[in-house]
Amino acid sequence: MIRFLLKGLWRDKSRSRLPIIVVATGVMLTVFMHAYITGFMGDTIEMNARFSYGHVKVMTRAYAELSDQIPNDLALLDSDKTLASLQRSYPELEWTERIQFGGLIDVPDVNGDTKAQGPAIGFAIHLLDAQKGDVDRMKISNAIKEGALAQHPNEALLSDDFARKLGLKIGDVFTLMGSSMNGSMTMYNLKLAGTVVFGVEMMDRGTVIADIEDIRKALEMQNASGELLGFFKDGYYNDDRATKIASEFNASFKNVDDPYAPLMKSLGQQGSMGQYVEMAKVWSFYVSLIFIIAMSLVLWNAGLLGGLRRYGEVGLRIAIGEEKIHVYKTMIYESLLIGIGGTITGTILGLFFAYLLQRYGLDISGAMEGATLMFPTVIKARITLTDYYIGFFPGIVSTVLGTALSGIGIFKRQTASLFKELES
């Protein structure tokens, strides 16, 4: 019977071509939109994680209470031991040391007097050791505008706009003025190795990136780190896993009454990121749900209209002795075949376009001028397991349901009425 129905659909293009095109288009849009939403929301989370929050972050309890002020006087001491312990206990995460700091960049003239100054926000990472992964994780190589990555101690990177405002050129020396871990004023000379552009105003306004060992010397933080960041090895944040890991870690220090004891927080537990993580979950679910419902209504209507237009054919089939129930079943089977064919085609097309967006992205840097939040300037989709089956609901269920509802009319109407439709 299936073979007979397939032949009928293949030979009668009016019954198969347009319905399959409609189903494939709806499914394609559903799959693509879900991948797009997942990618955009996920990239925003990952961008904030790479620069500031990590997927999980370990710091002292005192530091956590004032984390917005970056209180390096409350930093973790003997951070190498804590880091080694974390690597043993949580091998599913990649761990790195990080120091965030603020300061004043002073540019001297030929006489050593101040020529220009500007406030800066700094990131101390493993800039000279590529094997630590910080350079790749923060995509610094891709952000280089002029010059190159730091290759030697006492070399640093500045945001390109910041360097231009200060009148700095590659190879020039500038002074970082700030407060040491012990509260005293400190000055440390660094050489400009290169400039970077991240495409986010808050990062490009005044950022300095230096090797963590240089900053430890500058801020008198030997073997200390403000934060220890952990990242899942698959590269994507999982709020449930991160929250569970943080709870397990903190439980081991539950009875320790020490403000300098380590405390772990997931990304979703830090500042405004918790609200954004929850928002991402809700938006991803509801936007996808609304789109699925909209496509379902379209495909349902298509199946309904397709069934109504075939009442003349139904009259002919009943006139030659075919039972109503058999006619009804064949219409359902045909819509099922159309739904399967359209869904498979639409899913393949949706995944193809989602892959193109995932691979190449869409540059929206022009629209991000003046933005103060850390959003990606290149929108990329992210294909997940859900995208392989999400189109089956609107593609198959809605199409079959529409046909089923239109076919009910066969049983409600008299055979004579169907004959009249045949005659007309």
* Structure tokens belonging to residue 401: 């349901």
Please identify which residue in the block is written with the tokens 């298509």. 302
- Contacts (Cβ under 8 Å, ≥6 apart) of 124: 98, 99, 100, 101, 210, 211, 212, 214, 215, 216
Q: Does a structural domain hold residue 230?
A: yes
Domain check: are 207 and 63 in the same one? yes
Domain check: are 287 and 371 in the same one? yes
Among the candidates 236, 263, 289, a domain finishes at: 236
Q: Does a structural domain hold residue 313?
A: yes
Domain check: are 367 and 414 in the same one? yes
Q: Does a structural domain hold residue 271?
A: no
Among the candidates 236, 268, 293, a domain finishes at: 236
By three-state DSSP, how is residue 255 classified?
Answer: coil
Number of domains making up the chain: 2
pLDDT for position 104: 93
Q: Does a structural domain hold residue 335?
A: yes
CB count within 10 Å of CB 55 equals 26
Closest listed residue to residue 70, CA positions, set 215, 201, 199: 215
pLDDT for position 398: 75
Q: Does a structural domain hold residue 259?
A: no
Q: Does a structural domain hold residue 361?
A: yes
Domain check: are 42 and 61 in the same one? no
Domain check: are 188 and 217 in the same one? yes
Domain check: are 19 and 77 in the same one? no
Domain check: are 26 and 61 in the same one? no
Domain check: are 415 and 359 in the same one? yes
The alpha carbon torsion through 317, 318, 323, 325 (nearest 10 deg) reads 80
Low-confidence spans in the chain with pLDDT less than 70: 1-16, 201, 284, 287-288, 291-292, 295-322, 324, 363-377, 406-424
pLDDT for position 125: 93
Q: Does a structural domain hold residue 257?
A: no
Domain check: are 78 and 210 in the same one? yes
Domain check: are 399 and 293 in the same one? yes
CA 121/CA 243 separation, integer angstroms: 28
- Alpha helices (H) in 261-323, listed in sequence order: 273-308, 311-319
Domain check: are 291 and 149 in the same one? no
pLDDT for position 111: 83
Q: Which residues pair with 210 in a beta bridge?
A: 124, 156
Name the pTM for this structure. Answer: 0.73
Domain span including residue 280? 2-47+276-423
Domain check: are 230 and 280 in the same one? no
Q: Does a structural domain hold residue 267?
A: no
Among the candidates 180, 207, 236, a domain finishes at: 236
Burial class (CB in 10 A: 0-12, 13-18, 19+), 305: middle
